[in-house]
Amino acid sequence: MKVAFSATGFWRINNKGKELNGDLYLNEEEGGIVLYIRIPNKGRIMSYLEFPLEIPFITGSTINGAKMTIVNCSRISTTSRMGTEEVYGYSADFLFNGMNFNDKEDIKFSKMTVSIPNIIQWGDTSNYVRPELETNATSLIDLNIVEPIEIYSNKN
């Protein structure tokens, strides 16, 4: 995975319990969100089930103070380094930047931005255009009807 963003910070599973050290990796192009929780351990190997395999959400903050929450986390790896640390890896479906939530029920939003990179180049034409901000300040996308393009026809 090509990493576009990485951050070290302190994390809480379901915003409960003690803070855990970890490293967050994000690849915006491919949609990968991975958190590796690192637990110092000078004793025997910790249990595979020390942490849940599925976690509704993990809240945290980077060492620079940026708040983040990752949602729908699934365990992807467990590594034991004898006498040093245990590492639990989680993949997440979503990341909320700048937010920490207290409960799963608090994770709601009323506005969403969707981006599909290079969709116009892929389709080579579009009925959608960006409006001039001077004429339409409320919409970020407008419809401009163009003549239909026939992609395939079995008419003779």
- List the one residue out of 85, 109, 84, 83 whose CA is nearest residue 96: 109
Q: Where are the alpha helices (DSSP H) in 18-83?
A: none
pLDDT of residue 120: 62
pLDDT 10s digits, 76-117:
999 988 888 899 999 999 888 888 888 888 887 777 777 777
Confidence label for 2 from pLDDT (cuts 50, 70 and 90): low
Cβ neighbours around 129 below 10 Å, total: 12
CA distance 39 to 47: 12
Confidence check: pLDDT of 136 > 70: no
pLDDT of residue 108: 76
Cβ neighbours around 88 below 10 Å, total: 24
CA distance 85 to 129: 53
CA distance 125 to 75: 41
Confidence label for 54 from pLDDT (cuts 50, 70 and 90): very high
Q: To which H or E segment does residue 58 belong?
A: strand 54-62
Q: Return phi, psi of residue 123, to 5°.
A: -90, -15
Task: Give all domains of the chain, ordered by start, each with its CATH number.
Answer: 4-102 (2.30.110)
CB 94 within 8 A of CB 107: no
